A and B are shown apart, each in its own frame.
Chain A
Amino acid sequence: MNWNAVLPELILGIGILTLFLVELFLAKKHYKFLSVLGFVFTFLSAYSIFFVNYPAKVFFDGFSIDGLSLVGKLFVLALTGLVLLASYDYFNKKDSVYNELPYLYLIATLGLMIMLSSENLAIIFTGLELASITMYILTGLFRKDYLSKEGAFKYLVIGTTGTSMYALGTGLIYAASGSITLSHYSGENTLFALGIVLIISALALKVSAAPFHFWTPDAYEGAPTPTTAYLSTVPKVAFYFLFVKLLVGLMSSFQDWRYVVIVLAVLSMFYGNVVAYAQRSVKRLLAYSSIAHAGYFLTALTAVDKDLFTALLFYVFVYGLANLGAFTILSILEKNEGWTHNFLDFKGLYQDSPLLAALLALFLFALIGIPPAAIFLGKLGIFLGLVKTEQLVLGVLFAIASLISAGYYLKVIVYMFLYKGERRFKRPEISAGEAFTILVTSFLVVLLGLFPQVVLNLLTSRI
């Protein structure tokens, strides 16, 4: 038995069990300790990735490790660690500490990692479910809060629909090809086509692409903000790695899915960007922005092209960093008494806490795609790939959608900087963990824009 191949999962699993046991004996005031312990385990798990030999297959080929999935796991673990560090003070201040939280985050991450490390559709399903169910719980954390309950319930109902679609798709693929592993399947078959469309739809639902996005705004708004930060970054990264793997493995034998993805992409870009203008809450606005971003990402999945995939995965990762930074700042602000994320609360934020306002502006400018923020490079890469695969029209649509999006991000910046505040808020305290997360994300967002080689080399050599 080759334990080396499952080293990261193993360490994370041990971490989860440790947290689970320790939590039984600890009072609520030690919540911070638990979070930090969780961070230590994510760090160890991420570190162990460098010692994994790949490619390798274990558990009767149920578990297969390749270079790309390792990079995916690294990204996922990095973001999870940052979320954990950023979250503890929020829950302490909100007086809603449940010591189970840190390991719930870890379980969701473990699910995503399992999902990434298999070529068997059934095992992918197991990982997917493990992650999804944990995320439903995380969303509904504020049990007495109506919005949180509503968000969790919507997420549960729609998310379950998604996973059942996935299961049905797997069944159909099995019926058509006699196998549930990712392998090249040649031959026209209606069942197979239907199965793939179902799987694409299920994944599109998970990455909140229109028209499967209905859970997104409510779940994002209702969830505690650190959880929103988690939901909008970690699973996204994992799902796009999975998407790439599916496209390379399973779907290269089947061409019609392209049009499905194009339709999803265009719909999401424009729906997300246009509806974002109607929002009065910045948190909800960012939810719509993530729908729009799902559209941008999907444009890169319309052709099997190495450069497109590299650009996409880079883009998703730096998008995750910027989004994480933005949501962390929202969660810091939310610690203020009476903060609602309404635009009016953001009025004149620059006067009260200039640093937070400036950093949020940095993340928002990054999300617009202004260089030198790294997201610009992601966009550029996708542009290049789209032109290369002769999809200039899609590239133009992408550009137009990006332009539309500039308006609502700017609206937040305008409210923060250019209007005078009517209500003054105290300058919120920033905990060490939050400071660390913001520092790391903001530095990486700019640095990776200027020196992206590290991440790009990691990706290009493995796709």
Chain B
Amino acid sequence: MELLLNIAIFLPLVGAIVVALVRNEQFAKVFSIVLSGIVAIITLILFLNFDFSKQGFQYETYLPWIEPLGIGYHVGVDGMAITLILMTAILFFAVFVWSWKIEDRPIPYIALFLALETACIGVFAALDLFLFYLFWEGMLIPMYFIIGFWGHDRKVYAANKFFIYTFFGSLFLLLGIASILVYGYLETGKLSFDYFFHLQLEYPFWLQLLAFLLFGLGFAVKIPMWPFHTWLPDAHVEAPTAGSVILAGVLLKMGTYGFVRFSLPLFPEASKYFVPLIFTLSVIAVIYAAMMAIAQTHMKRLIAYSSISHMGLVTLGTFALNPDALNGAIYLMIAHGLSSAALFFGAGFIYDRIHSYHMDDLGGLARYVPYFTFAFFLAVLAGIAFPGFASFVSEFLILLGTFKNHPIWAFVAGIGMVLGAAYSLYMFWKVMLEEDSIPEERKEKWKKLKDIELHHAIPFALIIAMALIMGVYPYPFVKIVEHTTKLVFGG
């Protein structure tokens, strides 16, 4: 089992090298789907075998690596990590299926996505700070080129902005890691990047404050929290569909994952100290991003702002410092990963067919692509936390937990959810139903629109099925997520 986790991490990277060496387009496409399918099955096996009644991390591998610097190869998962890894593997599988018909330079495209998959799964499994940072930075270069190569008009600007912002955050994360590392060294005389080594240490308050801020800056850029969010709408708007899906579905979760995995357990007092700050930023993100989303006419920009808004809810739940809210926050990471992926697939489908993201160019599509409309409607419902979908369970838990200690904040965040329903449904109405503003010649043209194809349907079906399962029967998932909550709060 331990071996399977390592295989899941490195198989895609090996695949990327194979794809780059073989240089055959048809082979690359089939190979990527098969390979990511295998990875998804492996993670599913790991997920099903995960014993959530047992405390602590499972499937651990430890190998000594760079000993003079106290660096080891240490991977392992807890409930949160294995669920996120499962989601990541499924999203990547969906992305490769979706990219079946890509024509523009498919070989580097597939190789980069495979390399990205290794980095994404690795981040969630790493239990060594150095390894974590390696994977964390490892996603930077593939994503940079994915946006830069296959993006839309302002791709260079967006790719650079993405790179600089994320690199900015990462450097502070690195400084944070350095500061706790050196403290550990001076305290115990042992230089170690190991997560458990640092879990045992009790940092003094000043160091907690400092390291929390340094780590937090790194995570905040990635999440992104207000006011570090401005790279996200640009990156999403310019990225190709598959890039957006991975960006929203997986990369954003790395930041909140970092908060739960590192900030809360390592700096508990600083976390308490900074609750007002994080709450303020989160609620600003929830409300401000929702307002911004209402004002958008570009579909992807709207979904991007809705992501910021939802991620605000995740940070709110994380720092409510309450088991229910934290459960909800972790649950929302997964739920939002699925729903935003489905929404971006929807936007990508529309762009494939009509070559526009602008709502002014769209309208009344329901008449021409009925099957797609149904799928997209489910995606929108999943996005607005409709009962029966995973996000409903998670947002309910977050508000429940937050309400116990901070009723006013919970109320304000609740307004954000209402706004969320408003802009999502408005988008659906404008794009799919509203017919009055559409000129006749466009309608004529749209009569020939092709409805959803198999390589579109499979990703939608997979993602929505998972969101539904998690929404209708949340019990096992909440149990698994609670596994992490217990680790964080001890008990």
Residue of A nearest to B140 (CB): A370
Which residues of B in the span 127-154 have a Cβ within 8 Å of any Cβ on A? Answer: 130, 133-134, 137-138, 140-141, 145, 148-149
Is the beta-carbon distance between B68 and A460 smaller than 8 angstroms?
yes
Assembly CA distance A403 to B221 (angstroms): 14
Point out the residues of chain A lying under 8 angstroms from B57, CB to CB: none
Point out the residues of chain B lying under 8 angstroms from A407, CB to CB: 160, 164
Assembly CA distance A167 to B69 (angstroms): 40
Contact A456-B185, Cβ < 8 Å, known A365-B141, A414-B156:
no
- If over half of B's interface residues share one DSSP class (helix, strand or loop), that class is named, otherwise mixed; here it is helix
* CB contacts between A and B, total, < 8 Å: 82
- Quick one: which of B141, B182, B186 contacts A370, CB cutoff 8 A? B141
Which residues of A in the span 400-435 have a Cβ within 8 Å of any Cβ on B? Answer: 400, 402-403, 406-407, 410, 414, 417-419
Is the beta-carbon distance between A384 and B138 smaller than 8 angstroms?
no
- Quick one: which of B140, B149, B164, B181 contacts A418, CB cutoff 8 A? B149
Check B155 for interface membership: any CB of A closer than 8 A: yes
Chain A nearest CB from B268 CB (Å) reads: 22
Point out the residues of chain B lying under 8 angstroms from A140, CB to CB: none
- Quick one: which of A371, A380, A383, A417 contacts B138, CB cutoff 8 A? A371
Name which of B68, B134, B155, B159 has the most chain A CB atoms within 10 A of its CB: B68
In this complex, the interface size class of chain A, counting residues with CB under 8 Å from chain B, is: 35 or more
Chain A nearest CB from B118 CB (Å) reads: 12
Assembly CA distance A249 to B174 (angstroms): 32
Assembly CA distance A175 to B93 (angstroms): 75
Which residues of A in the span 358-377 have a Cβ within 8 Å of any Cβ on B? Answer: 365, 368, 370-372, 376-377
- Quick one: which of A370, A379, A402, A418 contacts B159, CB cutoff 8 A? A418
In this complex, the interface size class of chain B, counting residues with CB under 8 Å from chain A, is: 20 to 34
Is the beta-carbon distance between B68 and A418 smaller than 8 angstroms?
no
Check B465 for interface membership: any CB of A closer than 8 A: no
Which residues of A in the span 278-304 have a Cβ within 8 Å of any Cβ on B? Answer: none
Is the beta-carbon distance between A452 and B163 smaller than 8 angstroms?
no
Assembly CA distance A418 to B159 (angstroms): 10
Assembly CA distance A396 to B66 (angstroms): 25
Stretch from A12-20, A218-226, A229-237, A387-395 that touches the partner: A387-395
Residue of A nearest to B137 (CB): A371
Check B179 for interface membership: any CB of A closer than 8 A: yes
Contact A402-B182, Cβ < 8 Å, known A414-B160, A453-B66:
no
Point out the residues of chain A lying under 8 angstroms from B160, CB to CB: 407, 410, 414
Point out the residues of chain A lying under 8 angstroms from B145, CB to CB: 417
Point out the residues of chain A lying under 8 angstroms from B179, CB to CB: 387, 392
Residue of A nearest to B64 (CB): A453
Is the beta-carbon distance between A387 and B182 smaller than 8 angstroms?
yes
Check B172 for interface membership: any CB of A closer than 8 A: yes
Contact A383-B175, Cβ < 8 Å, known A406-B163, A451-B66:
yes
Check B368 for interface membership: any CB of A closer than 8 A: no
Contact A453-B68, Cβ < 8 Å, known A371-B133, A380-B178, A387-B178:
yes
Contact A395-B175, Cβ < 8 Å, known A410-B163, A457-B68:
yes
A sample of 23 cross-chain residue pairs with beta-carbon separation below 8 angstroms, ordered by A number, consists of A368-B167, A370-B141, A371-B137, A376-B137, A379-B174, A380-B174, A381-B69, A383-B174, A384-B181, A387-B178, A387-B179, A395-B175, A396-B175, A399-B174, A403-B168, A407-B164, A410-B160, A418-B149, A418-B156, A418-B159, A456-B68, A456-B69, A460-B68
| Interface residues, chain B, with chain A CB atoms under 8 Å away | 66-69, 130, 133-134, 137-138, 140-141, 145, 148-149, 155-156, 159-160, 163-164, 167-168, 171-172, 174-175, 178-179, 181-182, 185-186, 191
Known: A365-B141, A371-B138. 9 other contacts (CB 8 A): A370-B141, A379-B174, A384-B178, A384-B191, A387-B175, A387-B181, A392-B179, A399-B171, A418-B148
